Amino acid sequence: MKTLQFREAIAEAMSEEMRRDDTIYLMGEEVAEYNGAYKASKGMLDEFGPERVIDTPISELGFAGVGVGSAMIGNRPIIEFMTFNFSLVGIDQIINNAAKIRQMSGGQFNCPIVFRGPTASAGQLAATHSQAFESWYANCPGLKVVVPSNPADAKGLLKTAIRDDDPVIFMESEQMYGDKGEVPEGEYTIPIGVADIKREGTDVTIISFGKIIKEAYKAADELEREGISCEIIDLRTVRPMDHDAILNSVKKTNRMVILEEAWPFGNVATEIIYHVQDKAFDYLDAPIVKLNTADTPAPYSPVLLAEWLPNHEDVIKAVKKVLYR
């Protein structure tokens, strides 16, 4: 094993795949000359040149469309959005073209493309730069949605996403790029659609994904000191979702808390709850609790932002609630 920052794991995954396959290229704002807005493509321009590491104007609709078109004729583009908040400018290309072209062409075209960049809040970036769109994209048939929470998962899943023959939404976080973690030496991939049990437990299942899962780890550490054993499942992939991992865990613990950084209405957690009550209702010893952000745009004030986001104290309260303590 070696230790890498999250940003280094992303760069390593892209570089390894680009060495393996010359149809792969990276395109986005500041990915080349500046080495990436978050230095997640550091050194790639020097290695692969300006024809494969391409700086763009601030024109998400334009370069998303270029990527989709080039994917349809045999390339495997990686399109970087400086943040998925900006993907809204190019969402027509993602939803109406990338996600649908295989079906609309009767299978004549596929679209092997990765749209990647940070999602959700990242400190005081205010309402329009702090939004989580995992559930938006996961709602659309034809898209796969991946949200890793650590460097090892990020590298393995990104390599798999780049090799996938269909469009993949790959969501990161500005606040994770500096995170360090152990990453396997040598070649490896992680399959899309497989969750990971990050912590074994017996009393309650906590489901989460992305950077907010850190709050679940903090809560589990504190609860362990009180004799409460938490099982933590990192979804890693929102769509396709690993329902078997979720159901197997809740059948063991009989209680569930879901932690998700997203607005509370119609999110990933609601989809999980539907499937659990449909397939494992008789195993539940308490109603499921879901923890989300407040149902408002993200505030700029640091005091209000702290209230807006779910945290480890909220997780502890939720766990005790489902345990009737």
Give me the DSSP letters along 169-208: EEEE-TTTTT-EEEE-SS-----TT--EEEE--SSEEEEE
3-state secondary structure of 66: helix
DSSP letters for 14-33: HHHHHHH-TTEEEEETTSST
The span from the CA of 144 to the CA of 112, in Å, is 11
Please work out, in degrees rounded to the nearest 5, the angle formed at the alpha carbon of residue 171 by the alpha carbons of 170 and 173.
145
Taking each helix axis as running N to C, give the angle between helix 243-253 and helix 268-280, from 0 to 180 degrees, rounded to the nearest 10. Answer: 60
129 is catalytic: yes
Active-site residue identified among 129, 174, 231, 261: 129
| 83, 174 Cβ separation under 8 angstroms | yes
Q: In sequence order, which ranges of 23-140 are alpha helices (DSSP H)?
A: 44-48, 60-72, 91-92, 101-104, 134-138
Identify whether 8 is a catalytic site residue.
Answer: no
Q: Under a CB-based contact definition with an 8 Å cutoff, are residues 176 and 272 in contact?
A: no
Spatial distance between the Cα atoms of 4 and 13, rounded to a whole number of angstroms: 12
Q: Among residues 8, 12, 17, 60, which one is catalytic?
A: 60
Q: Which helix (H) or strand (E) holds 3?
A: strand 2-5
Q: What are phi and psi of 256, to 5 degrees?
A: -145, 140
* Residues tagged active-site: 60, 129
